[in-house]
Amino acid sequence: MSSTTTPDASRFTAHPQFEHLATHELPEYRARGLLLRHRKTGCQVYHIVNDDIENLFAFALKTLPADSSGVAHILEHTVLCGSQAFPLKDPFLLLLKGSMSTFLNAFTFPDKTVYPASSTVEKDLFNIMRVYGDAVFFPLLKRHMFQQEGYRLQLDEHGKLALTGVVFNEMKGAYATHDAIASEWAYRSLFPDTPYANDSGGDPQHIPDLTYEQFLEFHRRHYHPSNTRVFLYGNIATGRYLDFLHHNFLDRFERLEVAFTVPRQPRWDRPRTLQRTFPVDSAAACERQASVTLNWLLCPVTDQHNVLALEILSEILLGHSGAPLQKVIVESELGEDLSAPTGLETELLELVFSAGMRGTDARHRRAIETLIIGELERLRDSGIPADIRTGALRRVEFRNREIRGGGPFGLRLMRKALRGWLHDGTPDVTLRFNDTFQRLTAAIDADPRYFEGLIDRYLLGNRHRTTLVVTPDEQHAEREQRAFSERLHAVEQTLDQAARREIEADQRRLLEYQSAADSPQDLARIPFLQRSDVPSRVETIDFRTFSTSGVDVYRHDLFTNGIAYIDLAFALDDLPAELLPLVPFFTSVLTECGLSGVGYDELSTQLALHTGGFSVRAEVGCHADNPERVVPLLFMRLKSLESALPQAVDLVVQIMLDADFGNARRIHDVLTEARNDMRSSIIPAGHMYSMTRAAAALSPTAAVEERWKGVSQLLFLSEHCVDGGAERLGAALRKLRDHVINRARLKVGFTCDPASGVPVQQQVERLAAALPAGPKIGEQHAFSGSLQQRPRVESLLVPTQVNYVARAMAGSPIGTTEQTAEVLLGHLMSTGYLWERIRMKGGAYGAFSSSRGAEQVFVFGSYRDPNITATLDAFHAALHHFSAAPVDERSLDLAVLGTVGGELRPLAPAERGLVSFRRILYRVSDQIRQAKRDAMLSMTPQQLQRAAERLLVHEQSAAVVVIGGRKAVADAAATLPELMLHVMEIAV
């Protein structure tokens, strides 16, 4: 967020078509909120006005599901498949291809559907808003769009009926993982008498129950301005938005009486228990794979005082590894770590608090209930330690004070505003923090047992509680597939020849629609910028540099709202080979094992008291001016209020030099949690694992990335989750620390308010001086030899009904015009050929291609894909298509606009400092960045054609990795036998 002042109220004047309901001062965001209502339709508009150039809009509709057919989710997809003003196959795809948006998406929540977008270019934002608004209010919703995006019956090559569709396949993937099932049912179990009892995303078993007529009726009833909230954010004048909304959309409607209200769930007089299962491949995989989670229904989301109090209570109980409830769960030996839903859910009408354990046995349900209730009783009766309470208050205050990045700031405020606004409150209620926090702290000061009272009222005295038990079941997938088969068989029995011919005709019509090109006249309707609208100069970030104790330091003076950020980068160039796979676990355990004489729980409490966070991570890249040079780095980031920085620095130095790697019990717990986190991410992020593993066969940089963040790391962690593994790792961790933590391999970057530069610099100098000098860094050896011989085709088996298909081939190095051409080619294929062939026709949820310049590879991938061989064929066909003839100039212009748009997103101060520091470390100079922008703006269709030709040549030595179900891989191997040459089963 770049705003620095509260805007002048004179920027808004009365509008004849809108009633001005309220003005809200929002000093925590240096902004003012304007609440308005369209006189004719009743559509409410809320504009958070400030000086941020990254403007954002969102159309938000209350969409309460009456069943689990996924109608709201299917509509979210389908309204973007053509509208009255833009009768194209996929206007959303064209926006992805050629807008300069910094954010462009749509979301289905349990009770609402939201269509947000943002841009730093005003003309671009209104172009997108016109397309989005027309999609929301005037979509075409043709039957073949419903069949493509929702579900459809089709005859396979053997004449058998099959079910497919984008949302249908997406949700099959979602229902394949333990964590997704546990998280879904944790809240649904508490709301059996409300729409929250249903899955708004759609249960694959119930999606085929939805009829086309029900689909149309849902849109007619819900997608109306009277049921719409329009959220606006940024520095564009409010009047411009109101004129635009009225003339383009709202004036075409009359007011509709809508009464879509989520009813309050009637409270129970006793807790309930619910059991669900998730798929695994074998009985052996069932051992200690269950989870047990306790869930409580709390207060309304509009009760901001209690919402904030419960957020702080959740931080007290679960906020870090030393938090009392988290600690007692992890140390209990009843299971392995916290269950996925554990924490506070604030997106629903009423809050949900969950606490539980995964990696357990269902037989331990009562013991886990007793454990959690017992700890809550102990805290209520004996009291919460003062330092834990104070640390939680400081951490919550810090999070709300920090100007965080990671996406448009307006998007964060949109989600906050909608929490209350969609439930008939005013949007400011759930936006405000400062006043609520001050009143809350006053109440806490007046009542030393304030949080103990909350535990008693909302948890121990609250009988509206469920215990959710999610267990592995090797028959689960078979039952699901049998249900689909029986359903299809029942339908098939009713089909005569005429009905079969009609299904075949539907398939042909859909394929014809998917294969037909949009007319030039219709394409011209989409408003786009020109390549000449792209800024010709890249934005630069100023810094100054100095040296202290032999360490190079880079200082960034930026407004940070009183927070200092210190980034440490330790070079790992000469790391011994045996320590290479240990680096990611080192980043996990460094802050989690305590110090000599200080337990991990006490250390976690001290970090919460004295810092806004201390994080450790590893990453690998290359020098932009020498791409063959692998650059592995260990990063640490300290965030602290400037006033608390001396204590924070002392604590961080202690952690770096004195972490207790001799605590085998604690190392085992952290190791198990790290393994479980990776296991649970394999299916949701299967595309990332498959693409990274494919790239690792071709690139030393990618090979390191895969060993650190891919399947190889999961295997490493699993190998050490055995008796004696923690002790062996403890000795290796000490060796790694002694090798890495010293001044010889350190560079530092820091970011702070300009006025605080001198005292913060003094603390940086003190930190550097506290570290040992260290020997001179040796030559690379662990990394130069990291490209091990890998199979070129590999299949990884997981219990899922959808697949993740990847192909990688040699690409051009970063900083070259050839690599810039590959970046644009990847964008064109992802938002065109691959989308249409793999997603629209094939039914996959996602398909993409990209150039990875630092790794010198080009990768293809698919996500939640029902196919394997057809997808691999599509990857090849995409390159052949673009090599056969040059693209037209307009398509190239759109690719340039779409690619550069992502580079224009304003960075939060903490992001700007870190981005600048990383550029320095990887030698990405402003000259190299400018050369890339120049190459992009001068790119020709012939250069893209040559890029496709190059990649086609490299495709002959490409690597393929498929993550998928056993049956799908075996079926694909009938066509591609090499898929069965190197097969590995992954326990998830």
Q: Say which DSSP state 840 is in.
A: I
Q: Tens digit of pLDDT for each residue in 589-640?
A: 999 999 999 999 999 999 999 999 999 999 999 999 988 889 999 999 999 9
Do 595 and 708 lie in one domain? The reply is: yes
Q: Tell me the pairing of strands 228-234 and 44-49.
A: parallel
Strands 44-49 and 31-38: antiparallel
Tell me the pLDDT band of 2, cut-offs 50, 70 and 90: very low
- Does residue 369 form part of some domain? yes
Last residue of a domain, one of 211, 228, 262: 262
* 4: confidence class by pLDDT, cuts 50, 70, 90: very low
Give the Cα separation of 166 and 514 in Å (integer).
14
Which CATH number goes with the domain that contains 663? 3.30.830.10
Q: How far apart are CA 917 and CA 588, in angstroms?
A: 23
Q: What per-residue confidence (pLDDT) applies to 724? A: 81
3-state secondary structure of 757: helix
pLDDT score for 281: 81
8-state DSSP, 201:
T
Find the mean pLDDT for residues 821-849.
96
Residue 511 belongs to some domain of the structure? no
For residue 31, what pLDDT is reported?
96
In a domain, 438, yes or no: yes
Most confident of 90-94, 228-232, 642-646, 799-803: 228-232
From the CB of residue 988, how many other CB atoms can be counted at a distance below 10 Å?
Answer: 27
Contact 66, 50 (CB under 8 A): no
Rounded CA separation 918/635 (Å): 10
What average pLDDT does range 471-491 have in this prediction?
A: 88
pLDDT for res 13: 78
Following CA atoms 716, 720, 725, 730 in sequence, which dihedral angle do they give, to the nearest 10 degrees?
Answer: 40
**Comparing C-alpha atoms, which of 862, 871, 693 is closest to residue 173?**
862
Residues 252 and 359 in one domain: no
- Cα–Cα distance for residue pair 614/587, rounded to 1 Å: 11
Per-residue pLDDT, 260: 86
For residues 649 and 761, membership in a common domain is answered with: yes
CA distances (Å), origin 639, targets 296, 513, 917: 33, 53, 16
Query: How many angstroms separate the CA atoms of 499 and 501, rounded?
Result: 5
Rounded mean pLDDT, 925-937:
96
Label residue 285 by pLDDT band (50, 70, 90): low
- Model's pTM, two decimal places? 0.93
DSSP category for residue 981? T
- Domain assignment of residue 95, yes or no: yes
pLDDT of 594 reads: 96
Query: Last residue of some domain: 755, 770, 785?
Result: 770
Residue 26 lies in a domain: yes
Helix (H) or strand (E) holding 299: strand 290-300
Q: Give me the chain's average pLDDT, please.
A: 94
Query: Which residue's entry shows tokens 């196959």?
Result: 89
Q: What is the mean pLDDT of residues 376-389?
A: 97
Q: How far apart are the first and last CA of the chain?
A: 39
Helix/strand/coil (H, E, C) string of 590-615? CCCCCECCECHHHHHHHHHHHCCEEE
How many domains, in total, are found in the chain? 4
Residue 695 CB: number of other CB atoms within 10 A? 28
What pLDDT, on the 0 to 100 scale, is given for residue 780?
62
Q: How many CB atoms lie within 10 A of CB 700?
A: 22
Residues 825 and 951 in one domain: yes
Distance CA 416, CA 298 (A): 18
Q: Phi and psi (nearest 5°) for 796? A: -115, 120
Tokens of 443: 């109440």
Structure tokens at 207: 């999606």
Q: How far apart are CA 168 and CA 153, in angstroms?
A: 11
Task: For 246-260, write each residue's pLDDT tens digit.
Answer: 999 999 999 999 888
Q: What's the angle, vertex CA 947, arms to CA 945 and CA 948, rounded to 5?
A: 65
Percent of the chain with pLDDT over 90: 85
670, 743: one domain: yes
Residue 895 zone, left/alpha/beta (φ > 0; ψ -120 to 50; rest): alpha
Of the residues 192, 227, 262, which one is the last residue of a structural domain?
Answer: 262
* Spatial distance between the Cα atoms of 108 and 843, rounded to a whole number of angstroms: 19
Does residue 434 surpass a pLDDT of 50?
A: yes
As a whole number, mean pLDDT of residues 828-856 equals: 95
Q: Are residues 152 and 59 in the same domain?
A: yes
Q: Are 384 and 362 in contact (CB under 8 A)?
A: no
Is the domain of 833 the same as that of 766?
no
Q: Are residues 228 and 196 in the same domain?
A: yes
Evaluate if residue 463 carries a pLDDT over 60: yes
Q: Please tell me the predicted confidence (pLDDT) of residue 3.
A: 42
Does one domain contain both 468 and 433? yes
- Domain annotation covers residue 704: yes
* d(C-alpha 859, C-alpha 298), whole Å: 46
The pLDDT tens digits of the residues spanning 393-407 come to 999 999 988 888 788
Q: Residue 889: CB partners within 8 Å, gap ≥ 6?
A: 941
Does 205 lie in the same domain as 106? yes
What pLDDT does residue 788 have? 62
Q: Tell whether 61 and 189 lie within a shared domain.
A: yes
CA–CA distance, 824 with 68 (Å, rounded to integer): 40
Cα dihedral 122, 128, 134, 139 in deg (nearest 10): -170
Give the SS3 label for residue 674.
helix
Shared domain for 256 and 276, answered yes or no, is no
Does some domain include residue 113?
yes
pLDDT value of residue 787: 56
d(CA 718, CA 711): 11
Total length of the chain: 988
Task: Specify if 228 maps to a domain.
Answer: yes
Task: Identify the domain containing residue 62 by its residue range.
Answer: 9-262
